[in-house]
């Protein structure tokens, strides 16, 4: 069992990621949360937690062996530079120092060209800078850029391209599944791609970038 540090574990998508990892045969999730009162949700399920704030030093999170990192954290617009950009960079640096095998980043459609966005431009700039930092880090990575997130049930069917021709929606459940699948070494190695709901199974769609 490999230990997977999940940054942003307490978020709506993060909880789905941790649940999938907890049910898997290969992975042991370690839920990174910012506040002590967020630990109970995971401890009730016997899921290991660590306290960490992306706006502070995160190197201590790697005291225990961490094999892979999945970044699903976000400030919700409250601190896009501190969390979405610089927090991501800190975790990338700490992952590199800890010889993490792979870093999977939850990004966003529009992060490739944030200057063209009519909304959330600051957020997309922060995501763009974090993505570029990861690409240049030397770590093995996958960067997943979904369309608008919904709370719909999982379809387990997506549309995936390095650059999609249209925007669209996708459920958090299907994003979580795509992120977890991307932890594998052979899946989307050093690839950046966009996803929305579609008509191809997640595993089949990922073959395009694997």
Q: Which residues are catalytic?
A: 123
Residue with tokens 């094999």: 67
Q: Which residues pair with 141 in a beta bridge?
A: 103
User: At CA 145, angle to CA 179 and CA 139, rounded to 5?
Assistant: 65
- Give phi and psi for 147, each to the nearest 5: -75, -155
Nearest to 170 by CA among 105, 108, 77: 108
Residues 10/50, Cβ–Cβ less than 8 Å: no
User: At CA 196, angle to CA 150 and CA 6, rounded to 5?
Assistant: 65
Upper half-sphere CA count for residue 201 (Cβ side, 13 Å): 4
Burial 62-101 (b: 16+ CB within 10 A, else e): beeebbbbbbbbbbeeebbebbbbbbbebbbebbeebebe
Tell me the C-alpha distance between 22 and 19, whole Å: 5
């Amino acid at each position: 069992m490999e230990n997977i540090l999940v940054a942003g574990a307490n978020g709506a998508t993060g909880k789905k990621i941790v649940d999938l990892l907890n049910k898997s045969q290969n992975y042991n999730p370690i839920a990174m949360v910012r506040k002590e009162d967020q630990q109970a949700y995971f401890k009730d399920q016997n899921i290991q937690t660590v306290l960490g704030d992306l706006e502070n030093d995160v190197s201590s999170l790697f005291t225990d062996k961490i094999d892979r990192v999945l970044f699903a954290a976000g400030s919700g617009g409250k601190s896009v530079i501190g969390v979405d950009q610089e927090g991501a960079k800190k975790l990338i640096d700490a992952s590199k120092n800890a010889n993490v095998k792979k870093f999977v980043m939850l990004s966003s459609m529009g992060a490739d060209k944030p200057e063209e966005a009519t909304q959330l431009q600051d957020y997309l700039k922060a995501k763009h800078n974090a993505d570029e930092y990861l690409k240049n880090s030397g770590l093995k990575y996958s960067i997943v850029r979904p369309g608008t997130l919904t709370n719909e049930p999982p379809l387990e069917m997506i549309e995936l391209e390095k650059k999609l021709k249209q925007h669209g929606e996708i459920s958090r459940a299907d994003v979580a599944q795509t992120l977890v699948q991307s932890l594998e070494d052979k899946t989307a190695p050093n690839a950046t791609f966009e996803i929305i709901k579609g008509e191809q199974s997640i595993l089949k769609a990922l073959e395009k970038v694997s």
